Amino acid sequence: MTAIRVAIIGANGRMGRHLCELTAVAPALTLAARVVAPDEGDGIPLAQLDPQSVDVCVDFSQRAAVAEVAEWVARHHKPWVLGTTGLSAFDEQALALAVAHAPVFLASNFSIGVALLADLCARAAKVLGPEADVEIVETHHNGKRDAPSGTALSLGHAVAAARGQDLSNVRRDGRVGQVGERPQGEIGFHAVRLADIVGEHEVHFGWGCERLTLKHDARDRKVFAHGALRAASWLVGKKPGRYGMSDLLK
């Protein structure tokens, strides 16, 4: 079987380096190109990437590069795995162009375990309904700048959707002072920043005299690279459209 040719965009970044290392040793994959910013070394800029040499692009570059990559993907109809988060409205417009011409796999977290956690949370939320209290606690390293994490918000969306809610209407970020009784249907978020923790997410359900906690613990950032490359292999040959981790689990 011919190996899938992968271009790693943002190859000099932390995730990019992991992706390059894992692609180089994966028997079903081959590293076709290391794509970097024009002023960086050890790779080539996107403008020099030969589309005929690539089967799929895996992109964990900076948000500022999203529009450029989206245009390239749309023009050459190449599958694109995108792990960049914090997209702006302009980025979403560029993403929509790419989705119309190529298969695009987008996720805030490429851990297979987190994808399973979201699925389990949705199932639990559907069974328990809005009468159950839900609190989401995420813990990350002390260098993480945003809170709550994109993964925590994705879990919140999974719970809210399963209960027929709009997360923006029931979300509560932390509590301080005289906040009163907890409203029914509320989904709470709490962020912990501690040392070098890669990522932990806990979703607590409480109702009646019972409590259920679902938890995922990422111990090495390579789990995200493994998931992204699994998504890349899966995406090759798919029709144009937007895909995510829930599609990968089907």
Residues labelled catalytic: 140, 144
Tokens of 65: 């590069």
DSSP string over 48-100: G--GGG-SEEEE---GGGHHHHHHHHHHHT--EEE------HHHHHHHHHHHH
Bridge-based pairing state of the strands 56-59 and 4-9: parallel
Asked whether the beta carbons of 108 and 150 are under 8 A apart, the reply is yes
Q: What CA–CA distance (Å, rounded) separates 115 from 249?
A: 8
Give dist(CA 202, CA 247) in Å, integer.
23
- d(Cα 98, Cα 96) in Å, to the nearest integer? 5
